[in-house]
Amino acid sequence: MPADLSPSDKAKFLAAKRAVDYVKDGMRVGLGTGSTAAWMVRCLGERIREEGLKITGVPTSRRTYDLAQQVGVPVATLEETRWLDLTIDGADEYDSQLNLIKGGGGALLQEKIVATASDQMIVIADITKQVETLGAFPLPVEVIKFGWQTTKLLIEETLINMDVMGRECSLRMNVDEPYITDEGNYILDLHLRRIAKPSQLSLVLNQIPGVVENGLFIDICDVLVIGHQDGRVEVRDINNGTVENERIDILEEDNLFQDLSD
């Protein structure tokens, strides 16, 4: 592990390192998108090089595809694999029920498709992503370009009847142009501050014409792996109802990927 990692990156790295222990020979693995998921892809590349691990990865974005190629993780499309053994991905927020907000990296649509096409979803995060109630992180909603202003208006009107604290809705930008997802859509970020009923909100949002998908991941996560800055890793398994704490000791000279970019 690089000596110059920030405390936050160290926690993300530890979570990723522990999560890839779930990956076994012959598995088809969904590869998430984002800074924490990037560590996971690198750790898989390390296992492939060091252990001869044989897997097939299904990336959830072009960025993840490029990184997987760079570190030697074999990739395929979901059309080719059809179904996956597990998916490992990060989260922007998680609550005590392992409900998530995802999509800060702009890949929520492919991430949700891949996660729900898996026998198991493992989420990796650091403790700063934990919240009592979802909503502090803006909720991404992917919408088609056609009529997006009307879709935005419909979303704002719908939020009036939802149990949320804020209703501001903004178009995500990439410098001075709208951000474009891998599927060619826009993203609206909903600044809700608190989402009292995430399941209800998710269902209602997806009924609005023009909405493709939203970043609420409800009842999808099976295992949460939380990295801590002091070297501890907490593993919460919602299906077994277990919480385990471990410590991972990693030698700095063992790092094989410190020069790779996210």
pLDDT, one tens digit for every residue, the chain (262 residues): 555 788 889 999 999 999 999 999 999 999 999 999 999 999 999 999 999 999 999 999 999 999 999 999 999 999 999 999 999 999 999 999 999 999 999 999 999 999 999 999 999 999 999 999 999 999 999 999 999 999 999 999 999 999 999 999 999 999 999 999 999 999 999 999 999 999 999 999 999 999 999 999 999 999 999 999 999 999 999 999 999 999 887 655 455 444 443 3
pLDDT of amino acid 235: 97
139-214 sits in which CATH class?
Answer: alpha beta
pLDDT of amino acid 2: 55
Do 7-129+219-254 and 139-214 have matching folds?
A: no
Amino acid at 256: L
**244 among known catalytic residues:** no
Q: Residues near 4 by Cβ (< 8 Å), separated by ≥ 6? A: none
pLDDT of amino acid 251: 59
pLDDT of amino acid 262: 33
Q: Residues near 21 by Cβ (< 8 Å), separated by ≥ 6? A: none
pLDDT of amino acid 256: 45
Q: Which two tokens stand for residue 242?
A: 């277990």
Binding residues for substrate: 33-36, 89-92, 102-105, 129
pLDDT of amino acid 248: 83
| DSSP-derived secondary structure for 76-141 | --HHHH-SBSEEEE--SEE-TT--EE--TTS-HHHHHHHHHTBS-EEEEEEGGGB-SSTTSSPEEE
Domain ranges of the chain: 7-129+219-254, 139-214
Catalytic residue among 46, 111, 142, 213: 111
Report the CATH number of the 7-129+219-254 domain: 3.40.50.1360
